[in-house]
Structure 1
Amino acid sequence: MWTNLLKTIILIGSLAGGVISMQVTCPEKMVNGTVGQSITLYCNYETSLPIADGLVIRWSFYTRQVPRPKLFYTYQMGNWFPSEVPEGKYEGTTAATAKNASIIIRNAETEDTGMYTCEVTNVPDVSGTISANVFAYIRGKPTKTTCIKQVENHEDYHWVFLSCSSKAMPPPTYEWQWKSSGGSYHDVEGEMNNRTGILNITNPMNMKTGIYRCTARNEMGEDVCDYEEKEDKETSSSSTASSTAIIIGVVIAIILLLVVTGVTVWFVLYKKKEEGKSTKTTAKSKSAGSYKAVAADSNYSTVASQEAFPSTINTTEVEVSEESAAYNKKTATPPPTERTSIELQV
């Protein structure tokens, strides 16, 4: 609607034969500042018509994060009106009297870095160069540094990311470190991107419990944020259960091994014992056989001796007969010579 109205005004002015032209300029194409300062964005304009209630000034802003210009400050009917910005963030000059459309940024922040566009119209003077640009570069050390953990679960892999971001100008570089409870910081394992602040821990098992610290740093200073990795109770319980199961399995395996070893040793000893008994029995049998053979030989030798040496027996018989004779002389009993002889022979 507003565009159509402007076109109508321009057409009317052209038909009337008037020369309508607006010239807007920004004398500084780039303005440098630091965080906390007040920064002035200069914008001047020239119009071929008297300044009236039709004068309108618009300031818009865009950055890489806000690629389309965003209107944030407007002058109309003698007053400035902010659009979706904190009250008192911007301050405009008295444009109606000085042909000056400049504004001041109070308490500048690094987020204020970007391209600003100053647009001026003075109905019906709406043609010509009605806008100009100025770039504001606000430097500051890293602030509002934040650390977050991100997890990506895929069918073939499982990744863990630690992401670090900070508000700073110029853009900071990032460094990740880790320490255990009560320890000191040292380099962390993983793939680190110093420009984006992303730490990629490709193996989740390398994600240790402790404190992960990100340091954002630029020429203006540095800032840190911490992320604490705590032990997962479910994982800990599962790990404990797994460890317990492993220990029980090892104990059972050891017991089974001892039982098998004991049975094997007992069987070997039993076998040896049985073999020993068998050997002793065989030895006894052989000894008994030998003894019988020896005894038989001995009896045979005795009989043979008696047969071979009869004189010995006769001598004995003579001695006994003599004793009997002597005895019989005393007792007047005939001596049992023949009986004695027979008994000795037996």
Structure 2
Amino acid sequence: MRKLCFFVIITLVLSGCVQKKIIDDINIISVQGYDTHEDEDTVRGTFVIPVYEGDKSISNTSFSAVASQSKAVKRKVEQKSSDPMVSGSVEVVLFGKELAEKGVFDIVDTLERDPSIGANLIMAVVDGTAKEMLEQNLGNRGTGTYLYNLIYNNVRRRELPRSNLHLFLFSYFSKGKDPFLPYINLEEDKVNIKGVAIFKDEKVVSYVDDEEMFFFKALMENFKNGSYTFKVEGEYVTIFSLTLKRKYEIEHAMKDPVVHIEVVLDGHIREFSGKVMDPKTIAKIEEKFSELIDEKTEKLLREFQEKAVDPIGIGLLAKTQTKSFDEKAWNEAYKRATFHVNSRVIISETGVVE
């Protein structure tokens, strides 16, 4: 009986220590954006709060402030808010292009240290300013949900490689791999996936445009779905339901690296502008697509090499295959690396065009 009374008392005491927050009495941040400011020592932050209307629709209210550190931006913003602002539901964080090219680690470090923010937080670089994008009323379920679903859908079903706070930090702190983030822009009242922003340490130094995203993802990860359209002997063909697998091997990692990449792609033909779809035509399509993959991926790898960035993680592969890996020695060896991509394309279905 004494044990039961003790348990009840402890339960009541502990429950009284929990800080309760009534949802109607707080402002829940769904998106945060950061930009440079006129004063080089300050940063502008823009926070978006979803507002739930009586007709069940959602609008957005944005708050903006300037401070010397990203940690201080939220405090400045709260000075304009009638209710406390909480970060537990932040879905997306945006960086303006100018800020991203200047460096974002101070902000990313703040996000990492905030226990209310999850590691799956999506981040992206904006062609322009984050403030301009976040002042728009995007989507019918709130700007945060709209941006999250846009990026997630393009990762899951299109050609955008996976990225989030956890993966960014892993690449940032890894020896032999550089981070990347989605690169987006505003087109009237919609947001467009423009490509991928490549980082060297904390700064964006290069961009992969949307025409090259498929080949970038082919180097980055095994995936399903997606599609690609190209020309074969003057006719357009679209291949979809792509299943891609790739394998890396590296020789002479710390001297004159030779990187071999094998890509196997299985897909279906959705559209073909020609009149005849026979085995000979299918063979030509497979051959042409294979040549494109080899050419485009090798070109991307050489461009990364020239800019001394490695978002693919070739250096990470070298590290796993080298007992006494030396980062400085690898950086010099990477400049001399040669790349050989060998792809094989299999058309398993031709659908209604047959």
What band does the TM-score fall into relative to the shorter chain? Answer: under 0.3
Larger radius of gyration: 1
Q: TM-score w.r.t. structure 1 length?
A: 0.23
Q: TM-score w.r.t. structure 2 length?
A: 0.23
